[in-house]
């Protein structure tokens, strides 16, 4: 399996190089040169497989023989052994045709664990094989950071630097990033919003001399391996609802477009998916884009679902590439427009192609709070604000003939203030995180300044020291 960049001028790479590269050298994102396909009979034969075995079957084609079978199987099994639910990503029914896919049974209570536990082990393996070290940089609006820190803490081959927007993540999210005692973990509070953090990280990737010196790798969903791992739970949930003999729809609380792009990938691989519904909070750039055909950034509004407070939705670039028939020039034009004027128009045929697969809706903060209350009252089930934005939108788009699966991307205990304000119940953290709020914090505070950030990383990165021979 080879991987190509959405911007067309970076070299094609194999799986191990894509895993370590993160962002392509032309600023684009890697996608598989072709989508692996599974027939109906092959999908039917996946029914009843345990989650790690299903993951092995679906992900093996993406690895393309670059990691031997036995090692890959061991890594996958170890990654999912960290989950505290036997099914890894179970579904629960919350309405006649409404199901919630619980993605929060991993170590940090967020869907990011599903991919990050695998990614860290894969990177460790490839780095050990090559006898190399890497510097990991990631931007987070709250959940990616905690999940990445948990997955990479204490790993000898990597130093990890996580940038989060100062004062704009929930207290639980912040502590999950700032209380690690591992020497290779470095949390950085940036004076800015998530888009600033993401810009800084992409800036470091696009500064090739720096990138090469510190051997920069990424853990955001710009890294193909993140998307790859997230494909599995679309299959597992659809299989348990009757796929491939029955189509299902998914509603996904969306920010950086990684999770819903994994659903699109599952569909391209043969999973019968009817509608893919994008749910946004008040930062509704994607819902506006689908309605108008213009992707137009506005200021970021702080909401009760902070992980979705974002304007520049990185993985939308992967969808643009597909919707334009894999024409990299169209993607380059769009990204130039975004950089120059904060907006771009999507051509009519590409927009139609997107609308054929996707639908979108928005949930305001008040509607999200109402939904938390309503789901608790009617189903006795407590959801977090990100999940609630999706339930609200899913209910507007529901079709009585097709099961609708709503992705529950975080445990409610990560956002106790918003949940309690909505419904009067304050969800408790699980026992293993019971003392999280009392643990001492350690983090740097930096302005949104590329040079200061690079200096900070250089000072602390072991890969940089090795490259400079000091």
Ligand X SMILES: Cc1ncc(COP(=O)(O)O)c(C=O)c1O
Ligand Y SMILES: N[C@@H](CCOP(=O)(O)O)C(=O)O
Whole-number minimum distance, CB 174 to ligand Y, in Å? 12
Considering only residues 227 through 266, tell me which ones interact with ligand Y, judged by CB under 6 A. Answer: 255-256, 258
Tell whether the torsion through CA atoms of 280, 283, 286 and 287 is positive or negative: positive
Q: Are 75 and 118 in contact (CB under 8 A)?
A: yes
389 binds ligand Y (CB under 6 A): no
From the list ligand Y, ligand X, none, pick the one residue 220 interacts with, judged by a Cβ distance below 5 to 8 Å according to partner type: ligand Y
Q: Which residues bind ligand X (CB under 6 A)?
A: 110, 142-143, 221, 253-259, 307-308, 386, 409-410
Considering only residues 312 through 351, tell me which ones interact with ligand Y, judged by CB under 6 A. Answer: 314
Strand partners, 189: 164, 445
From the list ligand Y, ligand X, none, pick the one residue 405 interacts with, judged by a Cβ distance below 5 to 8 Å according to partner type: none
* Size of residue set near ligand Y by CB under 6 A: 13
From CA 36, how far away is CA 209, in angstroms rounded?
Answer: 35
From CA 321, how far away is CA 327, in angstroms rounded?
Answer: 6
From CA 367, how far away is CA 281, in angstroms rounded?
Answer: 9
From CA 144, how far away is CA 151, in angstroms rounded?
Answer: 10
Interacting stretch for ligand Y, rule CB under 6 A, among 119-127, 136-144, 184-192, 343-351? 136-144
Q: Which is the catalytic residue, given 37, 112, 168, 202?
A: 112
Identify which of residues 52 and 253 has a Cβ nearer to ligand Y in the complex.
253
Q: Are 234 and 251 in contact (CB under 8 A)?
A: no
Identify which of residues 45 and 301 has a Cβ nearer to ligand Y in the complex.
301
Identify which of residues 140 and 389 has a Cβ nearer to ligand Y in the complex.
140
Is 348 one of the catalytic residues?
no
Whole-number minimum distance, CB 313 to ligand X, in Å? 7
Task: Summarize the chain as % helix, strand, coil (round to 5).
Answer: 50, 15, 35
From CA 151, how far away is CA 97, in angstroms rounded?
Answer: 35
Whole-number minimum distance, CB 145 to ligand Y, in Å? 6
List the one residue out of 137, 146, 163 whose CA is nearest residue 109: 146
Whole-number minimum distance, CB 143 to ligand Y, in Å? 3
From residue 172 to residue 211, the character string flagging contacts with ligand Y as x (rule: CB under 6 A) and all else as - is ----------------------------------------
Whole-number minimum distance, CB 292 to ligand X, in Å? 20
Whole-number minimum distance, CB 454 to ligand Y, in Å? 21
307 binds ligand Y (CB under 6 A): yes
Identify which of residues 99 and 194 has a Cβ nearer to ligand X in the complex.
194
Identify which of residues 158 and 280 has a Cβ nearer to ligand X in the complex.
280
Q: Quick one: which H or E segment has residue 112?
A: helix 112-130
Strand residues in 230-374 grouped as ranges (E): 248-253, 273-280, 294-296, 343-345, 358-362
List the one residue out of 114, 197, 205, 206 whose CA is nearest residue 163: 197
Identify which of residues 125 and 267 has a Cβ nearer to ligand X in the complex.
267
304 binds ligand Y (CB under 6 A): no
CA–centroid distance for 277 within its chain: 16
From CA 30, how far away is CA 455, in angstroms rounded?
Answer: 28
221 binds ligand Y (CB under 6 A): yes
Q: Which residues are catalytic?
A: 112
- Residues forming contacts to ligand Y in the complex (CB under 6 A) are 140-145, 220-221, 255-256, 258, 307, 314
């Amino acid at each position: 399996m080879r991987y190509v960049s959405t911007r067309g001028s970076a070299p094609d790479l194999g799986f191990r190089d894509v895993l370590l590269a993160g962002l392509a050298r032309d600023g684009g994102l890697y996608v598989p040169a072709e989508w692996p396909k599974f027939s109906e009979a092959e999908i039917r034969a996946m029914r009843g497989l345990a989650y790690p075995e299903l993951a092995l079957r679906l992900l093996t084609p993406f690895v393309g023989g670059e990691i031997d079978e036995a090692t890959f199987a061991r890594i996958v099994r170890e990654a999912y052994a960290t989950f505290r639910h036997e099914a890894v990503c179970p579904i629960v029914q919350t309405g006649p045709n409404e199901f919630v896919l619980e993605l929060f049974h991993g170590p940090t209570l967020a869907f990011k664990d599903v991919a990050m536990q695998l990614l860290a082990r894969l990177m460790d393996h490839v780095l050990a094989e090559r006898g190399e070290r890497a510097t990991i940089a990631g931007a987070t609006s709250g959940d990616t950071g905690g999940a990445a820190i948990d997955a990479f803490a204490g790993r000898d081959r990597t130093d990890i630097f996580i940038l989060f927007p100062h004062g704009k993540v929930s207290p639980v999210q912040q502590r999950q990033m700032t209380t690690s005692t591992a020497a290779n973990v470095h949390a950085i509070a940036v004076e800015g919003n998530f888009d600033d953090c993401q810009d800084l990280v992409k800036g470091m990737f696009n500064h090739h001399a720096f990138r090469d010196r510190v051997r920069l790798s990424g853990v955001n969903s710009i890294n193909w391996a993140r998307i790859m791992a997230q494909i599995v739970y679309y299959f597992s949930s659809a299989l348990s609802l009757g796929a491939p003999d029955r189509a299902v729809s998914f509603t996904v609380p969306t920010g950086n477009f990684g999770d819903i792009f994994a659903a699109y990938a599952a569909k391209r691989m043969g999973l019968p998916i009817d509608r893919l519904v994008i749910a946004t909070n008040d930062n509704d750039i994607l819902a506006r884009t689908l309605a108008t055909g213009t992707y137009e950034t506005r200021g970021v509004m702080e909401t009760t679902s902070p992980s979705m407070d974002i304007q520049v939705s990185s993985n939308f670039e992967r969808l643009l590439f597909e919707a334009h028939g894999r024409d990299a020039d169209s993607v380059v034009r769009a990204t130039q427009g975004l950089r120059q004027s904060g907006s771009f128009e999507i051509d009519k045929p590409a927009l139609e192609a997107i609308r054929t697969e996707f639908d979108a809706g928005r949930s305001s903060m008040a509607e999200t709070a109402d939904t938390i209350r309503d789901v608790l009252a009617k189903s006795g089930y407590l959801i977090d604000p990100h999940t609630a934005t999706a339930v609200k939108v899913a209910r507007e788009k529901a079709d009585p003939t097709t099961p609708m699966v709503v992705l529950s991307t975080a445990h409610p205990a990560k956002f106790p203030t918003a949940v309690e304000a909505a419904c009067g119940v304050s969800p408790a953290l699980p026992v293993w995180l019971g003392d999280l709020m009392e643990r001492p914090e350690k983090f740097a505070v930096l302005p949104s300044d590329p040079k200061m950030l690079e200096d900070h990383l250089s000072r602390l990165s072991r890969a940089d020291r090795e490259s400079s021979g000091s």
